[in-house]
Amino acid sequence: MTTQPQQPNPIQHDYYPDDEIELIDYLRVLWKWKVFILLIVILCVGVAMGLTLVKYPARQITECIISLNFPGIEKHKNPDNTLFSKEQIITPAILTRAIVFLQKKDKSLEDIRGMIDIKAVIPLEVQEKKELYFPNQFSLTLTLERYEIFSIKEKNQILLSIVDEYRKDFEKKYGEEPLVVIEFPDNFLADLDYLDVINTFNVRAHSFIDFLDSKIAKAGFFRSQKTSDSFIDIKNDLELLNNIEINKTEAAIKTLKLTKNKENLINLYRHKIRTIDVERKKKEKEALIAGNLLKDMKHLRRYETSKSAVSEKGETNLVLDTSFIKNLVKEDSSSFLLKTALEAGVNAKNLEVDKEYLEEEIVFLKEKEKEKEKEKENIAFVETNLKNIEDKIIALSKRANELNMEYLSRVVSNAVQVVRGPETSSVRSKSVKNIVLLASVVALFMAVFLAFFIEYIKNASKSSPANKEI
């Protein structure tokens, strides 16, 4: 019987070498050296914490959040359209008034300025998007290196006093704007002549319109909640008054030659005629002199031209030619003289026309003595119109002032608000928590490494040949 060779067992068993270390061995080493590892970690954490506390001492920061709500802040501008800066809130003048109660502390303005800071409060979503953003909330902080300088009450009072002083400055600057002044003396209409009254109305109306234009530029379409008035409405009413009633009355006065004292007006016209005569004679004299000088200059040019022609027939000398400079000067002088002569002549003619007009006015005023009855009716009509115009201008100015005061109160009302009151916290430039965490991790790895290294040295010394022979 033939013996079959034994087939190898397909199932193979793996055996670890004798020198291979299992996971349980690592755990045994860590457990064996647990006290050593724990001491190393505690020691490193203690040293790191001590160094952090010494090198980065805690500072007390008192912070309050303020909000600015006035037209223009959304564009980073003040209500008067000037550029806004957060440093306006902590100017030296404001700080000086805010720390008056600290005089007993013997703290100077420079000391306080070094402790005060202000920065914009920007939402996180805006910071992530990195978009252009004009903040309206700001963080006002008071930072102290030592705790005993001010009490918590004093720190809170410093910040709130700064906010109050800035609010007062803001309200004074933008809430007490000068109003339009349209007032007339009691005997205004009785004392002045009709044409003088009209001229006064024109001046006041134009200054009033300028005021309304400046308010419209700032307030835009602002409308009163009480009267539904707007600066645009008032301006439209004033322009209607100026373009229709004032112009119509002025035309009637000038056309009818109405005056309260014809003799005074005639004397005034005669005085103007004499003044015009003197001015006209001056202009005529000026035109004559300029014309004569211009003729003399033309004769001089002809003489120089003929002289140069004669010299060309004789010897030719090498001389620097500067005639072009003289010609330029002559041309400029000719232009100036011609311009002067023309302007003086035109002015003289205009003055002559003015004189003729005034002479005609004098004749007209003298002839009007015969139409006294009809003139009385015209005077009554004009005086009634002038009184109505005066009343309307005063009424419009009152409307404008009331609206302006309401607008200014709206601008400064709640313009500076404290969103979050003063809160004090202790802050370090470096986080103790993060440093302790980092130190503990580093210490743990270092302690584990030392534990395994020492264990390895001990095992290696036991298995050395010298120890085996013993």
Instruction: With a cut of 60, say whether residue 317 has pLDDT above it.
Output: no
Average pLDDT over residues 8-36: 65
Question: Whole domain around residue 243: which residue ranges?
Answer: 188-302+333-412
> Do 379 and 267 share a structural domain?
yes
Range in 42-56, 258-272, 431-445, 446-460 the model is least confident about: 258-272
pLDDT at 237 over 90: yes
* 113 in any annotated domain: yes
Q: What is the mean pLDDT of residues 375-396?
A: 88
What is the 3-class SS of the chain, one letter each residue?
A: CCCCCCCCCCCCCCCCCCCCCCHHHHHHHHHHCHHHHHHHHHHHHHHHHHHHHHHCCCEEEEEEEEEECCCCHHHCECCCCCECCHHHHHCHHHHHHHCHHHHHHCCCHHHHHHHEEEEECCCHHHHHHCCCCCCCEEEEEEEECCCCCCCHHHHHHHHHHHHHHHHHHHHHHHHCCCCCCCCCCCCHHHHCCHHHHHHHHHHHHHHHHHHHHHHHHHHCCCECCCCCCEHHHHHHHHHHHHHHHHHHHHHHHHHHCCCCCHHHHHHHHHHHHHHHHHHHHHHHHHHHHHHHHHHHHHHHHHHHHHHHHHHHHCCCCCCCCCHHHHHHHHHHHHHHHHHHHHHHHHHHHHHHHHHHHHHHHHHHHHHHHHCHHHHHHHHHHHHHHHHHHHHHHHHHHHHHHHHHHHHHHHHHCCCEEEEEEEEEEEECCCCHHHHHHHHHHHHHHHHHHHHHHHHHHHHHHHCCHHHHHC
On whether both 231 and 290 belong to a single domain, the answer is yes
Which pLDDT score is estimated for 4? 47
Q: What is the pLDDT of residues 127-156, one digit of tens each?
A: 777 778 889 999 999 988 765 678 888 889
Statement to judge: residues 282 and 370 lie in one domain: yes
In this predicted structure, what is the pLDDT of residue 337?
Answer: 65
User: For residue 253, what pLDDT is reported?
Assistant: 85
Do 227 and 154 share a structural domain?
no
Looking at the domain assignment, is residue 114 inside a domain? yes
Do the domain assignments include residue 321?
no
Mean pLDDT computed over every residue of the chain: 78
Q: What is the pLDDT of residue 429?
A: 62
Domain closes at, from 388, 412, 436 = 412
pLDDT above 70: residue 54: yes
Residue 434 in any domain: the answer is: no
261 and 128 share one domain: no
Residue 357 lies in a domain: yes
In-domain check, residue 458: no
Q: State the pLDDT confidence band at 292, using cuts at 50, 70 and 90.
A: confident
**66 lies in some domain:** yes
Please report the pLDDT score of residue 209 as a whole number. 93
Count of domains observed in the chain: 2
Q: What is the CATH number of the domain that holds 114?
A: 3.30.300
**380 and 340 share one domain:** yes
